[in-house]
Amino acid sequence: MEVELVLVSRKGLSRSLFTATKKWFSGSKVPEKTLTELKNASSILYPPEAPELQIRKMADLCFLVQHYDLAYSCYHTAKKDFLNDQAMLYAAGALEMAAASVFLQSGAQRQYPSHYMETAIQTYKDLCKNLVLAERCTLLSAEILKSQAKYSEAATLLIRMTSEDSDLRSALLLEQAAHCFINMRTPMVRKFAFHMILAGHRFAKADQRKHALRCYSQAMQVYKGKGWSLAEDHINFTIGRQSFTLRQLDNAVSAFRHILINDSKQTAAQQEAFLREYLYVYKSVNQLSPDGPLPQLPLPCINSSATRVFFGHDRRPSEGEKQAATHVSLDQEYEREASQQWKELEEQVVAVVNKGAVPLNFQPTQYCLNSQTDNLRFPVAVVEEPVTVEVVFKNPLKVPLLLKDLSLLWKFNFRDFNKSPEEDAKESISNEKVAHLKTSPSIATEVISEFQINGEETKVARLKLLPHQTGELHILGVVYNLSTVQSSPTQDGMDYSPGMQIGGSYLNASNLRLGKSGSKQQAPHSLHQSSPSDPLEYFHGLSWTEGKAPHGLSVRGRQDLEIQGPRLNNTKEEKTSVKYGSDRRLDPIITEAMPLLEVFFINFPTGLLCGEIRKTYVEFVNVSKCPLTGLKVVCKDPDFFSFGSKTAALTPLSPTASENCSAYKTVVIDCACMSSAVTTSVSPTDFGMDTGNPLWVTDVPLPDSVLLPGASVQLPMWLRGPDEEGVHEINFLFYYESTKPHSKLSHRVLRHTAIICTSRSLSVKATACRSNVLEAEGKSDSDNLLVFLDVANINTSEAGVREFHIIQVSSGSEHWKLQKCINPAEDKDAKLGSRERAKLCFRAIRYQNSEATSCIEGKYIFADIVLGSEQIISATTPCADFFFQSCYAARSRKMIPQTTTGPGRPKTTDLAKLVQMCSEVDLNVIVLWKAYVVEDNKQLILEGQLHVALESIGKEASSLPQVQEAQEMALLKFVRPEQPQLPARPSMEQLSHLIKISLHYPEYYDHPFHQKSLCIVPVTLVLFNCCQIEVDVIIDLRHKATG
């Protein structure tokens, strides 16, 4: 009752006349006091019986009994009295409790007076200098505001309370403010993360590393994957250091790993610091478990899909005039079209070997595997032949990396493929523990001692394995020691010594080892003991001190080569889901020894004239320990080369076959005795034709058909320049087998690509027409033709050719031959200078019936008409080789139908076909020439031959290949199908071509008209059937009047 009376009296006093008069005349403004007076006022103490304290006690009692309305009135009254007396500490308390009373009132009319709390906090903090009470008031107000969903005001209140006086208090307040931001109706995620980082930073300064790690980890969930690389680097770096200090080694390694593998935008100096810190942490982790598996290293990055695998030895380089076969190497770029061409060539030769059919289990040979090749099957490698793996490394950092003792990591299973899998079950071995050893009983591993990758560089490393036993090899990855490149101590004015600090305290491996039970580990100092003026140390707490940390840190680790196969898209299930096939390029099968062939081309030209003949040599070397056999070569341009005839008598012995070192077989003759052509008959089978094999496949004439281990043989090879000018890419595929049956490899191949640049030489155009010259009285039943040759020099003198000489014209046919030159000049050797032209005329005759025996045997008759002093025997190598190849290649390209030329009536009675058959000619003309070339002030003699195939009388043929013009796209037209027209009956003029007519009569005839008025002049009519069938001829001698 006493407190209540005091309260009532105090209320009455405030309503007294004196108080009202005082307020009226003095105004409501409170006189300002100095700071000293306010400080003194904050230390005012009331006696226990003071009325102000009695009112405060009554308010507290009402608050305790939950009479919040009366409590608020009492607190409000006491607040006024305390303010009048300038008792700021009491006033702040009354404001705080008054605000709390309003908040606790149920269904209160008043709004929560947040300004009361703000005033109380400001009073506690600034006037009373009592931070404990200010913190309590702040936390209370923040909880009240959060309960009212006023998170923004609560966060502002908490942040305002932070200061540099206490890191721990500021860290707590910043963490609570961060939670306010995340709990808002529209969460402010970035503000939450930012303030969690600030809270973690303050926790770290207060040596509360667990709390600091927790705050940074929560902030990392927001910044991760947002592209804020610098923020991620800072957070990961701090997480790594705090985890390392707290002995959470896995977290530390993971955090430092993320710093290095991300696309960092840090400076080179900062990246070097990150790398050294990571190496030190990794080394410390490895020291705790030295016998554990090799850890996965994050650097450098490996592009696994770009990994290439090459099987076989590196080929010997070219030496002088010996040019090695190009084959396959890792230096060559993969071309899908070229790979398909090589596959077709191999299928062609395999079909020939297997009597026309490709085996079902045929797998094309692949020496180099990459992401574009077919890797669904296990590749096959050979014992004692290296397996080279090309690994693409990329350094994402701006500082160089040094890889030491770099080698491949593999697992090997022993297998004897001649035994069943049950009989040959053996354990597998791996080099993970002994990867630094170069030799092994099973696999020899190449080790690169040092492999440096500069900053932001992509570099290729080629690592080799040499298998010594058969089995299954699995290449798992690479293993190496990762270290930094030692640089100069100072650069750009900064000290980059390898010493690394954590706020002045070095990371030490001893810090990771736990002491005895009950011993307490001393925590390192704060991350920010150094001056905050250095921005590098402000963000990362880094400093470099020379000579206190180990120099040249290095850690041993591995990286796996994980290659994803191609996506499957064949079945419906595969199309509707995402499935990938297997990629076996790193899982080769090591099979038993096989022969290995190397090919060298001696004096192989790079430039030729069109039709030029050049003799070279090819050297075949067996560099393995197994004999090889069945050597063949397949080429899509069989008319480019020849190994000579199978008959030794038809092949020149050496390039010096004549005094002019001609590649042909020549004979010196007497021009006066050469009145007609010299003929020779040969069979196409002597030159590898009509054997049943495709023209592309050619047998290489090895001695005894076997090449022993370590042996070599040189064989002559004649080349002929293609008829079309330009650059030609000619592919040779050499096929060979082992003399012993093989379970995994049936054959091996060797590739070679020759680049030949050809320039123009001569152009030959030929036309055939019937000759009406017949002997009287039918003494000769031979058919003859006139063959006109138009030879032009179309060389542009690019190769230094001065002039061409036509030294011989030959023919090759089963039914025709050249007989003689009709218009021989005084100088029989026709010379053609630049852009000159020569016209020649020859008579050709059909074989007599007595000579038809050669035709029955399928032989060709070669007739040589010599225009010079030497006869080139055209029925021998190389003239006949290229002649037959040209004929058969043209026949296969044009698909010329074979017609029946034997005697008797045709099977069909179609007169149009009859006339066509009569006009067909099977005569091939060979023009042999020499060219005089000046090269390096020396005169060289080149020789060659051109082929012209006469197919029909009156139709011009050319030695130049026909260029097919690209057809323009025509508009689509809809027409009514017409009835097929019956073939028109040949005209009388066309029918008259079936026979030749010649009238023989005397030029002068004496007749005694005085004795006999009728003069009878003998006229002989000679008829010759030009076709191989019977022809009915009607002769009408009736005189027809004209006009």
Residue 462: the pLDDT is 92
Find all residues with CB under 8 Å of 814, minimum gap 6, and list them. Answer: 854, 855, 858, 859, 860, 861, 922
At 420, is the pLDDT very low, low, confident or very high (cuts 50, 70, 90)?
A: low
Question: Which of 430-434, 488-492, 887-891 has the weakest average pLDDT?
Answer: 488-492
Once rounded to an integer, what is the mean pLDDT over residues 526-551? 36
Question: Which two structure tokens, joined as six digits, stand for 90?
Answer: 């009491």
According to the per-residue pLDDT averaged within each range, which of 6-10, 625-629, 985-989 is highest?
625-629
pLDDT at 779 over 50: no
pLDDT at 530 over 70: no
At 34, is the pLDDT very low, low, confident or very high (cuts 50, 70, 90)?
A: very low
Question: Which of 119-128, 280-289, 338-347, 467-476 has the weakest average pLDDT?
Answer: 280-289
Q: Taking the mean position of all CA atoms in its chain, how far away is CA 192?
A: 46
Question: Is-contact 886 874, C-beta < 8 A?
Answer: no
Question: Which two structure tokens, joined as six digits, stand for 336?
Answer: 């899908």
Kindly state the percentage of the chain with pLDDT values over 70.
78
Once rounded to an integer, what is the mean pLDDT over residues 635-664? 69
At 774, is the pLDDT very low, low, confident or very high (cuts 50, 70, 90)?
A: low
Residue 682: the pLDDT is 83
Give 567-620 pLDDT, tens digit per residue.
888 788 877 888 888 889 999 999 998 999 999 999 899 889 899 999 999 999
Residue 738, class by beta-carbon neighbours within 10 Å (0-12 exposed, 13-18 middle, 19+ buried)?
buried
Once rounded to an integer, what is the mean pLDDT over residues 788-803? 81
Once rounded to an integer, what is the mean pLDDT over residues 405-417? 87
pLDDT at 28 over 60: no
At 844, is the pLDDT very low, low, confident or very high (cuts 50, 70, 90)?
A: confident
Once rounded to an integer, what is the mean pLDDT over residues 349-377? 87
Across 534-553, b (16+ Cβ under 10 Å) vs e yields eebbebbbbbbeeeebeeeb
At 408, is the pLDDT very low, low, confident or very high (cuts 50, 70, 90)?
A: very high
Position with higher pLDDT, 766 vs 952: 766
pLDDT at 946 over 90: yes
Question: Which two structure tokens, joined as six digits, stand for 677?
Answer: 């052509």
Once rounded to an integer, what is the mean pLDDT over residues 931-949? 85
Most distant CA atoms of the chain, gap in Å = 199
Residue 16: the pLDDT is 40
Mean pLDDT of the chain: 77
Question: Which of 27-41, 142-156, 187-201, 308-322 has the weakest average pLDDT?
Answer: 27-41
Among 381, 409, 392, 377, CA closest to 307:
392
Q: Taking the mean position of all CA atoms in its chain, how far away is CA 373?
A: 10
Among 942, 924, 923, 920, CA closest to 932:
942
Residue 597: the pLDDT is 92
Find all residues with CB under 8 Å of 711, minimum gap 6, and list them. Answer: 621, 622
Residue 276: the pLDDT is 82
Residue 514: the pLDDT is 32
d(CA 651, CA 662): 13
Residue 108: the pLDDT is 59
Position with higher pLDDT, 777 vs 199: 199
pLDDT at 553 over 90: no
Once rounded to an integer, what is the mean pLDDT over residues 415-424? 68
Residue 475: the pLDDT is 92
Question: Among positive and negative, which fits the CA dihedral 164, 167, 171, 173?
Answer: negative
Among 186, 102, 108, 110, CA closest to 141:
102
Question: Which two structure tokens, joined as six digits, stand for 489?
Answer: 């101590």
Question: Is-contact 983 916, C-beta < 8 A?
Answer: no
Conformational region of residue 446, where left means phi above 0, alpha means psi within -120 to 50, and beta covers everything else: beta
Residue 421: the pLDDT is 62
Could you give the 3-state DSSP secondary structure of residue 280?
Answer: helix
Position with higher pLDDT, 43 vs 368: 368
Once rounded to an integer, what is the mean pLDDT over residues 688-698? 73
User: Which helix (H) or strand (E) element contains residue 630?
Assistant: strand 628-634
Position with higher pLDDT, 917 vs 813: 813
According to the per-residue pLDDT averaged within each range, which of 493-507, 670-684, 938-952 is highest?
938-952
Q: Find the angle CA(966)-CA(969)-CA(972) to the nearest 5 degrees.
A: 150
Q: Taking the mean position of all CA atoms in its chain, how far away is CA 362?
A: 26
User: Which helix (H) or strand (E) element contains residue 445?
Assistant: strand 443-445
Residue 547: the pLDDT is 35
Say whether the peptide bond before residue 878 is cis (omega within 30 degrees of 0). yes
Quickly count: other Cβ atoms within 10 Å of residue 751's Cβ.
19
pLDDT at 14 over 60: no
Question: Which of 144-148, 433-437, 697-701 has the weakest average pLDDT?
Answer: 433-437
pLDDT at 281 over 50: yes
d(CA 924, CA 916): 19
User: In terms of DSSP bridges, do strands 505-506 and 368-369 run parallel, antiparallel, or are they unpaired?
Assistant: unpaired
Question: Among positive and negative, which fits the CA dihedral 24, 28, 34, 35?
Answer: positive
User: Which helix (H) or strand (E) element contains residue 275?
Assistant: helix 268-288
pLDDT at 898 over 60: no
Residue indicated by tokens 């090819």: 618
At 489, is the pLDDT very low, low, confident or very high (cuts 50, 70, 90)?
A: very low
Once rounded to an integer, what is the mean pLDDT over residues 754-760? 91
d(CA 92, CA 114): 13
Once rounded to an integer, what is the mean pLDDT over residues 1005-1023? 85
d(CA 720, CA 641): 6
Give 145-169 pLDDT, tens digit per residue.
888 888 888 888 888 888 888 888 8
Residue 498: the pLDDT is 37
Once rounded to an integer, what is the mean pLDDT over residues 838-855? 71
Once rounded to an integer, what is the mean pLDDT over residues 836-859? 72
Once rounded to an integer, what is the mean pLDDT over residues 335-356? 88
DSSP letter at 72?
A: H
C-alpha dihedral over 1029, 1032, 1035, 1040, to 10 degrees? -110
Question: Which of 3-12, 193-202, 828-837 has the weakest average pLDDT?
Answer: 3-12
pLDDT at 93 over 80: yes
According to the per-residue pLDDT averaged within each range, which of 82-86, 353-357, 787-791, 896-900 is highest?
787-791
Residue 434: the pLDDT is 67
Q: What is the pTM of this model?
A: 0.74
Question: Is-contact 642 877, C-beta < 8 A?
Answer: yes
Once rounded to an integer, what is the mean pLDDT over residues 339-343? 90
Question: Is-contact 600 750, C-beta < 8 A?
Answer: no
Residue 754: the pLDDT is 92
Once rounded to an integer, what is the mean pLDDT over residues 79-97? 83
Kindly state the percentage of the chain with pLDDT values over 90.
14
User: In terms of DSSP bridges, do strands 458-467 and 443-445 run parallel, antiparallel, or are they unpaired?
Assistant: antiparallel
Question: Is-contact 211 205, C-beta < 8 A?
Answer: no
Question: Which of 334-343, 583-592, 731-740, 989-998 has the weakest average pLDDT?
Answer: 989-998
At 918, is the pLDDT very low, low, confident or very high (cuts 50, 70, 90)?
A: confident
pLDDT at 929 over 70: yes
At 670, is the pLDDT very low, low, confident or very high (cuts 50, 70, 90)?
A: low
Residue 757: the pLDDT is 92
